[in-house]
Structures are given as C-alpha cells and as structure tokens.
Structure 1
Amino acid sequence: MSDHLSGTRALADPAIDLTDLYAFPSPSQAGLLVLVMNVFPNARPGSLFSDAASYRIRVRSVAVPAGDFGSLFDVGTDEYAFTFSFSAPTGADAKGNLTQQGTCALPNGESASLQLNDERGGHGQGVRWYAGLRLDPFFMDVLKEVETRAQRRLAFQPKGTNFLEGNDVLTIVIEVDVAKVLGPDAGTVFAVAAESVTAGPYPVRLERLGRPEVKNILLSDNGVDTANKVVDLRDLYNEEDPFRLGPSYLDAYRARLNANLAFFDGLDGKLDWPTQSDGTHPLTELLLADFLVVDVAKPYAEDSYFEIERALLEGRTHETCGGRSLNDDVIDTLYTLIVNAGRGPRVSDGVDGTVPASWEFPYLAPPNPNPPEHEAAIPTVAASQ
C-alpha cells in the first residue's frame, strides 16, 4: 500500500508514518519543482503532525550516465534539505479542531511559517508551502495485490476496488523555484527522498521513503527468500540513509530483492528478467538506489513514473520528466515492470484513479469530511494463505 504502515514503528505512531512521496515539475509554471510528502494514513478531521518529530525532504543533483545496461545514477554529495517542524497544538480552528503552527527550514538557512490547513500556505524566498489534511491521492486494489502474492498468481480483476477510497492523509506540499533556491549550478535532474526523524540536535531516523511500494511489496516476505525468514526487513530499511545504505544489512536487502523479483517475474509463466549465475536480478541495484528521479527541464506529465530509470536500464536518453505525479498509476507501472519488463500487456490492478488531484497549488483534493474507518494494518500474505 505505497508506504502506508510499512513497519512496526509506523504502526505504533501514524503521525510519523510516511505514506507517499511525489516529485514533479509544476504543470503551470516552468522552473518550479513540486514536492509532496504525505503522512498519517487514514487521518481524521483534527489529526495533527507530531511535535516530537521533524519531516524532511532531501534533494540532490543527479547525473544520468548514457552508459550500458546496468549503469547507475551518479548522485551528487551536495544536498538541499527542506525540514518541516510543527508546534504543539496552539488552539482551535473555526471547526473546533486543534491546530498547529508549522515552520519550513530552507536549504539557505531561512524559514517560512504557516498555520495548519491554511489554504494560503506559507511563503519564503523562492518557495510556497502548505501543510494540512487532504484526500489521500494513492489508489490501489490492496486485497487483490496481497492475494497475488499469497496465491502466487495474478489475481487482479478488470474492475478493481480502491482500498483507500475516501481516506485522508496529512500532507506537506512545497513549490520550489529551482534557480532561486537550489542555484543555477544545481542542474535539472534531481534525486528526491523523504524521511521522518526525531526532533532535537541528534535526530534519529524513524521512516524513510523514496519510490512507492519498495517496502510493502518489493521487500515483503513472500516465502521465497530463504536467507531471511524471521526479521522484518522494513524496520531495518527505515533506519537507512536514502542516499547511502549501510553495510550491515545490505546483503539481506539484496537477497530479499533478488528472491522477490524472480518470484514476480514468474507470475505470468515466462522469464523476462534473466538473472546472473549467482541469482542477482537486473533490477536489484537500481531499486536499492531508492529515491525518485525527476527532470524539471522536461514538461509535466502524469504518467512518467520510472521512465528515467527505464531509460537508464536501456542505455537511452529519457524522454519525460520522470518523478511521480499525484495522478500517476504507479501500481500498474510497477507490476508491468517486474512481471513482464514491459514486453507484454500492461498488468493492471483494475483501479485507474481516485478523485483527481488539481494542477494548482496545493494540488491534492480537499479532504473527505467523513473518511471510512479502517483497522491500522495491511492485509498480509500469511493471513491470506
């Protein structure tokens, strides 16, 4: 379910649970990069951000090598971080809900403040940002996806059911003038990752997020990884730096991805991703570089998720902005990639969207005033068997 409920820590505190990350060029103004971080799955009216944590969106310049199959992105070391923090509740809004003050610390040390749910947002030099309750833009037939992994066959139907229909999230949306905020030497292609960390001078990473469904699908336990049968790798993975995996568990992540990716490739009964003699899957190293890649020099597109990565794999120049837009059907893109490498029919979960996001700030649709009640858990493969 994208990154909703992706580990025991996330289940314990929904306010620090990252659900989705998006990065795309502004649909209406050239030179603006839009970054969206969603947290708090199935938030309710009056839900608040944590005042004991900070939320960060980290951006680095990327060089895309025009090399052979298997090349990887060359991520720069200079970083542009946007850090969002929120006060303890400061009073009630017009509807009687508690509210908060939010502060965005910019890469240049300046800051911009706002009040939660204020449509006017906050403004700083080269940025505009919003924080508040909005409709969850993610859509997916979660139950059929879980059944697919549990039964080891493609269980999707032509008309699926969006498990998240009507759910709300807390969102942080920021528009960044790339030239003003990142500088003229930053380039146009960027790696983007998000994380929640403890507040204070020595932050501890609580959750991290790059591409959708890395933890809940690609690193899930499907009974095919013989090297890791006990540990929930998602909790360990959440503690990792998005741009530099530590050595301690790297082999465990590789083993899980190699096993799972081979498993997904076999769901249609044919081999589209031949592995190396040691079992290494062609996608493993690229997926371990777990961040969105977006090119703000390309025009906005709603269906360009993973296109820059595919171009890198194929040794060609990318044609779209890449990244991830709010209306992009990433589940279909992901499953088509891992099942048939794009060489067969599109693999669809039968859910093509929800209430469309806008092309105008703050982009996400207004919240559902009466969101459905859901148990704070994702159906598991083990429970489906």
Structure 2
Amino acid sequence: MNTLPFAKPSDRLSDGLVYRFRLRPLTLRAPGDPAPFDVGSEELVVDCVFSSPNGGGQEGTCTTPEGATVSFAVNDPEGGSGSGVRAFAGPRWDPFIMDAPAALKTIATGELAFTDPGSIFLDGKNVLSLVVELDAALLDGADLVGVVAETLTRGVFNVRIERVGRPEVKNLMLAPKQFDPVNRDLEIRDLYNLEDAFHLGGAYRGAYRARLNANLAFWDGLDGKTDWPANGNGDHPLTELVLGDFLAVDVTKPYAENGSFLEIELAARRGEAHETCGGRAPNDDVMDLIFTQLVNGGNGPVISDGVDQSSRPASRAFPYLSPPNPDPPEPPEHI
C-alpha cells in the first residue's frame, strides 16, 4: 500500500489512521460472465496503526487475522515479523509506471496523447509505503482471494477514507465527468471511496455503472472502432469487472514478474484456465495492459504510454521497494 504522493524522506505515517488490508475468498463464475467472481463472506483483515512520531522515530503495529500483533520500527528495512505476518513501513521511491500527464491529455482532447518515449510524472518522487507479507497458511484453505487496501479514521468509529484494488480505476475510469450524460454534475470519486469494495451499496450503484459505461466507451472509441459493444442493457462489457475493484490472487499458481495482472480475469472471460498468481507485481508495466484492453480489447497493437519501467525498480528481497529519494522533486501547485 502506497500513500502520500510526494512524501519527503522525513515524513511518517499518520497516527490518526488505520491502514487495512482485507482478503475474501473468490469463486470463479461461468466462463464469460461479466462479473467473473462470487465473493465469499468470510474475511481476513490485517490492520496496521502507528504511534505519534517522537523525535523522528515511529513505531508500527499490525494485528494479524488471528488477533496477534507484530511490532516494528518505521524505516527499519528488516521490519517486524511473527504469527505468519511480516511488515515494513516508511518512505520509498514511488515505483508506479505511467505517463500520467499524457493520460490526462488523452481524456481532455479525445485523442491518444502518448509518445515514445514518454516520461514518468515527476520521476523520483517518494511515497509512504506499507509492505505486508502474509503466510498463505493464514488463508484457512482459500486458494483464490480478493485483496483490497484501505485507509480509515482511527477511533471508536472507523470511516473509510480511501481504498484501492486495481490501479487508476478512480482517476481514469470514474473521475472524468464530461462523457457521462446521466451524472455529469456528480463528483463521484469520494462516494466511491466510501464503498465496500466487496459489496457496493445500492444508493449509488447506478451512478457508478452509468459513469463507467460512459467512460469505458470513450476509451474504446479512441482508435475509431468499437471493440467492446454494449450489451442489451447498454452496459459496457467491462463495467461489472471494474465495479469489483479488488486484486484477484491465486496462491497456488506461480509468481510472474510480468504478465500476471488481470491474467485471472481475462482468462475467465475467455473460458480458459489462468496460469499465474494474478495480483500485480511492482515491476509489471500494468498501464500498457490497461490502456490496450480499454482501447482495443487486445485486438490491436499494444497501447503504450512510452514508459516501461521505473527508474528504481523493485527488488526480489523484502521490503522490495527501493529506498526513498533523498532529494525528491517538489510537488506541483496543481495536479
């Protein structure tokens, strides 16, 4: 989980938040179903909280699904471990791979604005990272699980502030309002963040669906042809998949440095068995896959944003993400 874009090396995690990982078992539906998974009601939760920074130091504590606690010092690369959980927290070099200004220009102009090469927006910026390893034995026999990360207020009542499953769903698929003839005046992002990723409420489900139908159709039309024709209800074929906004992970399948993102979901659409663990590997250039699926459904050339890897790729050793940039770029006045 990465939070606080443009973090300084001295920044610490909030003592007023709960940083939460939620996992639920998934069952594959019939091949080609627009919503590929049934989500189980059983839930495993890892909650992490942090002390108030004291003289630059900070302590973190994660509570495991079985109720045990794991403590660690923020910024200690060894982290803390116990009861099947290992955790690290602290500033890290932002590993995300995307030419964000080009993506936003594409939305603004209605024309693909990617160049070769592109550039990572303010490359070298830091984020506050929370890395949690979970022993598969804690999944209580579940092989295929959905994973979502959340931040919530800390106290008697926990209010969800933000959540993330797949990358850029909110920024590129939900946030643009100009293509939505139903809810053009509705600022939908904050409402969506409040929702339970595994069980959307009924109040705004229609609004989310209308926004996705409109925006996904926009992306599909950028190459001048329709690869994702709407169904009889006017729904884009990817809308239900996107509404289930969590990563799907199969712990029985091998890890893949590249190509595992959306592999489970797309294989299910084709009626084929998936071959990888799914999820999202830190060094995987997932945005090229997302843009390609949105624009041509994989029926045409790769739609690349012109950036293929981070300038500081993740490693294969805990805590995986690269140390923070000691002199990161200053954030812009407006993003």
Q: Which TM-score band applies after superposition, normalised by the shorter structure? A: over 0.9
State the shift of 1:72 in Å.
2.5
Identical positions, percent? 52
State the one-letter code of the partner of 2:240. Answer: E
Q: What is aligned with 1:320?
A: 276
Task: Give me the CA root mean square deviation.
Answer: 1.2
The 2-side partners of 1:167 and 1:139 are apart by 12
The 2-side partners of 1:250 and 1:176 are apart by 32
State the shift of 1:335 in Å.
0.5
State the shift of 1:298 in Å.
1.3
State the one-letter code of the partner of 2:21. Answer: I
CA-to-partner distance for each residue in 1:348-379, whole Å, 9 max, x for gaps?
A: 0001011110011000011110000012643x
Q: What is aligned with 1:38?
A: 2
Q: What is aligned with 1:140?
A: 98
Secondary structure at the aligned position of 1:208 is classed as strand
State the shift of 1:171 in Å.
0.7
Secondary structure at the aligned position of 1:89 is classed as coil
TM-score by length of 1: 0.84
Contact 1:138 1:164 in 2 (8 A): no
Please state if 1:153 is matched with 2:124: no
Q: What is aligned with 1:356?
A: 313
The 1:249/1:376 distance shift into structure 2, 3 A limit, reads farther
Q: What is aligned with 1:54?
A: 18
Contact 1:66 1:316 in 2 (8 A): no
Q: What is aligned with 1:9?
A: none
Match of 1:271 among 200, 206, 226: 226
The 2-side partners of 1:219 and 1:362 are apart by 31
Secondary structure at the aligned position of 1:42 is classed as strand
State the shift of 1:182 in Å.
2.4
CA-to-partner distance for each residue in 1:30-86, whole Å, 9 max, x for gaps?
A: xxxxxxx11111100211111111110101111123434435201111111000000
State the one-letter code of the partner of 1:191. Answer: G
**Structure 1 stretches lacking a partner, 5+ long:** 1-36, 92-97, 379-385
CA-to-partner distance for each residue in 1:116-135, whole Å, 9 max, x for gaps?
A: 10112111111211111111
State the shift of 1:278 in Å.
3.2
Paired residues for 1:18-97 under 5 Å: 37-91=1-55
Secondary structure at the aligned position of 2:39 is classed as strand
Contact 1:71 1:313 in 2 (8 A): no
Match of 1:220 among 157, 161, 175: 175
State the shift of 1:89 in Å.
1.2
**Structure 2 stretches lacking a partner, 5+ long:** none
State the one-letter code of the partner of 1:45. Answer: P
State the one-letter code of the partner of 2:322. Answer: A
Q: What is aligned with 2:293?
A: 337
Please state if 1:109 is matched with 2:73: no
The 2-side partners of 1:206 and 1:127 are apart by 25
State the one-letter code of the partner of 1:284. Answer: T
Q: Which moved more, 1:63-72 or 1:237-246?
A: 63-72
State the one-letter code of the partner of 1:123. Answer: S
Q: What is aligned with 1:13?
A: none
The 1:148/1:202 distance shift into structure 2, 3 A limit, reads same
Aligned length: 333
CA-to-partner distance for each residue in 1:237-274, whole Å, 9 max, x for gaps?
A: 01101111111111000000000111110000111001
The 2-side partners of 1:207 and 1:108 are apart by 25
TM-score by length of 2: 0.97
Contact 2:48 2:62 in 1 (8 A): yes
Match of 2:208 among 253, 268, 272: 253
Match of 1:300 among 237, 255, 272: 255
Secondary structure at the aligned position of 1:40 is classed as strand
